[in-house]
Amino acid sequence: MFTESATLYDAIYAAMGKDYLSEAQRLHELIQQHKRCSGDRLLDVACGTGGHLTFLQQWYDLEGLDLDAGMLVIARERYPDVVLHQADMVDFELDRQFDAIVCLFSSIGYVKTLERLHQTLQTMTRHLHPGGVVIIEPWLTPDVYRAGTVHAQFVNQPDLKIARMNISEVDGTVSVIDFHYLVATAEGIEHFTECHELGLFSHDEYLGAFVASGLEVVYDPQGLMGRGLYVGLRPLA
């Protein structure tokens, strides 16, 4: 997914103003509000380079999971004491349970199909203690996503310039984001492309996946960055 852009990821989202600190604080509030078990073990699914781990580690015994090897290389350098797993969120098997599982920044969209969304929620629930919570930040819903819109992000650091551009496209129920990168460093200027495909699921489809996995679900329409949040509780009984 981020095969060529992993080393640029943090610079791009820093330029966009992503606030990992405030997001982690809000997550902690939600976890403490909803969970009913006493432990503090947390799994960050699709942890990427570990931006949230920096702040969540003050409250939780952390582990992370991601499918992208390049992202995990960066995360492991930053957090040598955190257990990080390379695995698919759809069917990972860690042989342990957690008190909270989070999947943020719309990473859930990479499952692409409704069947795999259900499988992912079942996998997460299986790894959750009774009374534990699953928190998922969704990708855009079909009624919000707009095909044909033009997007651009820029990084302007002294020794690094990045332009990332794309036109939003759609293929059936899948959003297609074909990023074009133009990257300038002292070594030269490079251009490459990277295609990302994320499933477009409706609000009812997200709710249905939680309920089908045996979770009680609460929806926060604002969430961390305006895309909403689903908070699923595994019942104690």
Q: What is the pLDDT of residues 126-185, one digit of tens each?
A: 999 999 999 999 999 999 999 999 999 999 999 999 999 999 999 999 999 999 999 999
In a domain, 165, yes or no: yes
Which pLDDT score, from 0 to 100, does residue 209 have? Answer: 98
Which pLDDT score, from 0 to 100, does residue 167 have? Answer: 97
In a domain, 1, yes or no: no
- Residue 226's CB is within 10 A of a number of other CB atoms, namely 7
Q: Please check the confidence at residue 23 and state whether its pLDDT lies above 90.
A: yes
pLDDT (average), residues 194-202: 98
Question: Is the CB of residue 202 less than 8 Å from the CB of residue 141?
Answer: yes
Domain extent, residue 16, equals 6-141+200-233
pLDDT (average), residues 61-86: 97
In a domain, 66, yes or no: yes
Which pLDDT score, from 0 to 100, does residue 122 have? Answer: 98
Say whether both 35 and 130 belong to one domain: yes
Which pLDDT score, from 0 to 100, does residue 64 have? Answer: 98
- For the chain, the distance separating the N- and C-terminal CA atoms, rounded to the nearest angstrom, is 39
The count of domains in the chain is 2
Say whether both 216 and 118 belong to one domain: yes
pLDDT (average), residues 40-48: 98
Query: Residue 193 to residues 4, 162, 168, 182: CA-CA distances in angstroms?
Result: 8, 13, 14, 9
Q: pLDDT category, 3, cuts 50, 70, 90?
A: confident
Say whether both 125 and 212 belong to one domain: yes
Q: Please check the confidence at residue 237 and state whether its pLDDT lies above 90.
A: no
Phi, psi at 49, each rounded to 5°: -80, 0
Q: Please check the confidence at residue 99 and state whether its pLDDT lies above 80.
A: yes
Which pLDDT score, from 0 to 100, does residue 182 have? Answer: 98
Say whether both 62 and 128 belong to one domain: yes
Say whether both 181 and 193 belong to one domain: yes
- For residue 89, what is the domain's CATH number? 3.40.50.150
Say whether both 114 and 208 belong to one domain: yes
Say whether both 73 and 115 belong to one domain: yes
Say whether both 186 and 72 belong to one domain: no
Token pair belonging to 42: 């947390």
Say whether both 25 and 123 belong to one domain: yes
Q: Please check the confidence at residue 1 and state whether its pLDDT lies above 90.
A: no
- For residue 188, what is the domain's CATH number? 2.20.130.10
Which pLDDT score, from 0 to 100, does residue 135 have? Answer: 98
Say whether both 125 and 112 belong to one domain: yes
Q: Please check the confidence at residue 192 and state whether its pLDDT lies above 90.
A: yes
Say whether both 176 and 157 belong to one domain: yes
pLDDT (average), residues 106-113: 98
Residue for token pair 């293929």: 171
Q: pLDDT category, 212, cuts 50, 70, 90?
A: very high
Q: pLDDT category, 215, cuts 50, 70, 90?
A: very high
